[in-house]
Chain A
Amino acid sequence: MKEFFQALKDGQLSEKRALTPIHQEYDKPPVKRGEILRYAGYPAAALRAKGQGKDDESALEVPTDEELANRLEEVIKLTDGELTYRISYVCAKIDRDEEGFPILPFEQHSENLKMNLNNCRGVIIVAATIGAGIDRLIRRYERTQAATGLLLQGIGAERVESLVDMFNDEVNKTAADLGLKAHPRYSPGYGDLPITVQPHLLKLVDAEKRLGITLNASYLMSPSKSVTAIIGIE
């Protein structure tokens, strides 16, 4: 990534650049309980900080309902050893067409993405997944223990977002070190960027082979707790 950013900075990206997907495994990101509950329909207003709240606040948020707090801890424990934290990404150069749309390695005509990638000369395309284990757990519990199923959904969403955040932080830092700026990440389904671009994104990062991500007929990803994103580099 660093090499790519350096070349981008120096304006030395070759035209016939091979798009090599790089994949990485991460350690478990810190768990944000408040986020899990938010995904499960439990609002931030009903949370309180555990202990004195001096430490990392997000990690210490617990629900005021004690039974729910207990259940959440039980459910988090269920996921122990069942999740993997893997991403695959490519770095690519972008040009503009005559209307100013970014020319990406796949076709799209999204005004929102065009705006998001304003002034960017490079992009990082990333797919991330926490694996199929969470889907097995959700299957296992959703029909017999609905609350556990709901919390597992929340954990899955929080985990995969935390994973992408972790990668995104790395991108931001690498860019900043070289005096470049990383734009906020953008995903299919946001604004006018249709999820039909999903197969192209996944193919670019070799997601099926590297991460085991496939699409169904409605362009939804399996494992369900997977994310793709485009990060513009200015």
Chain B
Amino acid sequence: MKILDYMRDNFIFLDGGMGTLLQEAGLKPGELPERWNVTHPEEIIRIQKAYFDAGSNVVLANTFGANCLKFDDEELEKLINAAFANAVKAKEESNGKQEKFIALDIGPLGRLLKPYGDFEFEDAVAAYAKTVKIGAKAGADLVFIETMNDSYDTKAALLAVKENCDLPVFVSNAYGSDGKLMTGASPASMVAMLEGMHADAIGANCSLGPEQLIGVMEEYLEYASVPVLIKPNAGLPRDEGGKTVYDVYPPEFSDCIKLLLEKGVRIVGGCCGTTPDYIKAVVDKASKVTPVPVTDKNKSLVSSYTHAVEFGHSPILIGERINPTGKKRFQQALRDNDIDYILNEGLKQADAGVQVLDVNVGLPEINEPEMLESVAKELQAVTDLPLQLDTSDPVAMERGLRCYNGKAMVNSVNGKDEVMDAVFPLVAKYGGFVVCLTLDEGGIPETAEKRVEIAERIVKKAASYGIAKKDLIFDPLAMTISADTTAALATIQAVHDIRHGLGANTSLGVSNVSFGLPSRNIITSTFFALTLEQGLSAAIMNPYAMEMMNVYYAFRALHNMDANCTDYITYAQSLPAMAPAGANAGAGANNANTSGSNAKGSQMTSGGAGDASSGNVSALQNAIIRGLKEQAGNITKELLKEVKPLDIVQQEVIPALDIVGKNFEEKKVYLPQLLMAAEASKEAFEEIKKEMAKSADGAGPKRCSFVIATVHGDIHDIGKNIVKLILENYGFDVHDLGKDVPEQVVVDKVVELHAPIVGLSALMTTTVPAMEETIRLLREQAPWAKVTVGGAVMTQEYSDRIGADKYCRDAMETVRYAEEVEKSLKG
């Protein structure tokens, strides 16, 4: 019998701990247990037979750590094959009458993936794939991915299984006492991602005892539509007379497991500290429990690497601002590969209260697949909001979905077969929550009825790809009423019919409705309210439009979606802070006075006073010197009404930076203050860039280019980022290649730009040779370029030895050197 058939009507009993039993049998600390498959097969068989005898349906082959990072290919194959030979022997020798299966056991690689670690996602997929291929060939009945404490690593392993075999796969994560994975994922977010990728059973193991995992299990049971599993520890370990003992014994352990079976868990076993006695106790107690049927919870979920967002209850706001359409400044940022600008757009919308970020980076002259992957990754490194990948290019969509850590929204398909046939297979493979536009070859139907017909067709087509209706969200398309005053009525009707007739979620790009009309926000926000009343589940919108946010918070309060109106009250209280710039500037000026008098009283003052007589600095300069971001931005905005952008840079910003820079060099202010001033001037620059993007000449003239990188093998970029920020403030055209940059990549960029100056950073002595090699290649292929080096391990002596042109101790020294180089170019 196949395991999937068997588990339909029965509990599945897994095995218990292996590590602790092997230690008792003599496995030494630090010794790799997988080697025992070959050196001590009799011990492995003995333990596994005991589990089968105790009633386990599934025994995990001893392959937890069998991966190509720990063993070479030849040994890996030998150890996995031996593991299965042992498990088969145990199965044959056992007199247990139950159905018996053997699983390929896959534990984490032990390397944290980027962006928090240094291991590439695709390298992890490839590593897991090797183990999967060997295990499938060795005769596994299923694959058991377990003890995963990171969602991205879990995705890599599951993807490797799906791409390399057809076996059933169970996925189990290790939760901390806070009910989350080490890297932050909640149970609901794991359910969303793993079900999207078609895991056959999901749940938790290790780290805690059964009692502490009850909360985690309840969350799984609430969201999961596949069988839920648990394989907990026997409580916590402690040392008793030199022996490791755990504090939960078989009677309590099995009582707690019984309780979980009654709640609906279907697959149970034990992890660290559990023995065949525990499994026997569990099997005995379970005989008195009837399995709770596994039902479809019908949840519409998307997720990030920390949490899930559910559609269908409280309306969901999807921020629309990461999109170049009609935004000159954003287009400029895309062309300049200015990722920071895009990230900032995401962070600002998160602060404004959206729950999902739409990501559209399509521009004719850029490589969209590459850009979408890069932006999706970078956004996921700075924000935990789920993303809506917005592209019409299926290649870009696949790149985005593959690298996405969680279950993404997919924007979009429509009623055209060719579009559905291109996108649905990707969703079936990677998971996703799909925006479906109710249009087809014939365009957008005028009536609600016809739009619903298209929606019904899409539901059928999706089902043929194994995608359920709960994973679709329909956009019945808002059209402007300035062209046809019946347009809004049709859309409102369609929202109602899809929600209440078809029983599916709906979403709208609401702002289209007011196109061509004055004071658009009035129409748009009212339309938003009307569609919400018809059951709209989500809106793609501008979160900076106060009218829209007013409607959102009021609607939730009025519809009993906001307990005690807490969110509304918090929102309402934040409103004065959103008043126009004048009020802020006033408050700022008051602050300045207070602080000024404080400064007089103290000898050790900060930048503001310093040497530059405070009487001579302007309001903007004062804001920059003291690191007041908001003020710097607001004052610049005001100044731009009268003063030319470049004059502000020359007469205000640069002199202020010089004062701060000088004070830093004279040790009157220190690094945190230098950076605060840099942040404030960046805010001023952002206003200036916005103004300049409006005119034809784009971002305006820049100083010479400066290529900067942390060298190969080194992942420290704090210092490099600081230098970059300060250089940008001084107007240099900085090209940041990031960290751990291969030598030739640096050289190629310098050649491409004919850059006159290169900055290399290294923090560890072990990576200085990589720096030396980079310099050597630069001398060969880009002899014109001056090389400056810095970083924690750098000294003048090191710098001389590896042939750098200049050693710079800090950011300001780098600025001075860059100025010098630039001057010599002109001279």
Contacts and interface: CB of A to CB of B under 8 A. Distances in A.
Interface of A: 3-4, 14, 16-23, 25, 37, 40-43, 45-46, 48, 63-68, 71, 84, 91, 105-106, 131-133, 135-136, 139-140, 142-147, 149-151, 153, 200, 203-204, 208-210, 212, 214-218, 220, 222-223
Given A150-B671, A150-B672, A106 B30 contact: yes
Given A209-B147, A209-B207, A22 B238 contact: yes
B512 interface: no
A43 B384 contact: no
Contact of B604 (A40, A46, A212): A46
Nearest to B339: A143
Tell me the interface secondary structure of chain B in the complex.
Answer: loop
28 contacts: A4-B239, A18-B242, A20-B238, A22-B237, A41-B672, A42-B670, A48-B604, A64-B602, A67-B606, A133-B184, A135-B116, A136-B184, A139-B381, A140-B382, A142-B718, A143-B382, A144-B343, A144-B347, A146-B675, A146-B678, A147-B673, A150-B675, A204-B30, A210-B207, A212-B176, A216-B117, A218-B118, A218-B767
A46 B675 CA distance: 17
Given A42-B672, A147-B676, A153 B718 contact: yes
A42 B23 contact: no
Given A46-B670, A132-B116, A222-B112, A147 B675 contact: yes
Contacts of B242: 14, 16-18
Contacts of B715: 216, 218, 220
* Interchain residue pairs A-B with the least CB separation, the first 6: A212-B182, A65-B606, A41-B671, A147-B675, A216-B118, A20-B244
A43 B670 contact: yes
Contacts of B237: 20-22
A65 B110 contact: no
B792 to A, nearest CB: 12
B595 interface: yes
B759 interface: no
Contacts of B23: 18
A217 B123 CA distance: 13
Contact of A22 (B117, B239, B671, B713): B239
B671 A140 contact: no
A150 B30 contact: no
B10 interface: no
B392 interface: no
Contacts of A25: 177
B119 interface: yes
B111 A64 contact: no
B184 A20 contact: no
Contacts of A136: 116, 184, 384
Given A153-B718, A218-B714, A143 B671 contact: no
Contact of A142 (B112, B598, B721): B721
B149 interface: yes
A87 B238 CA distance: 14
Contact of B29 (A22, A151, A153, A203): A203
Given A18-B243, A22-B237, A212-B183, 17 more contacts: A4-B239, A22-B238, A64-B602, A64-B604, A65-B673, A67-B626, A68-B676, A105-B29, A132-B116, A132-B183, A132-B184, A136-B184, A140-B383, A143-B382, A147-B672, A212-B176, A215-B110
A84 B595 contact: no
B627 A71 contact: yes
B178 interface: yes
A18 B715 CA distance: 37
Interface in B168-211: 174, 176-178, 182-184, 206-207
B118 A209 contact: no
B108 interface: yes
B669 interface: yes
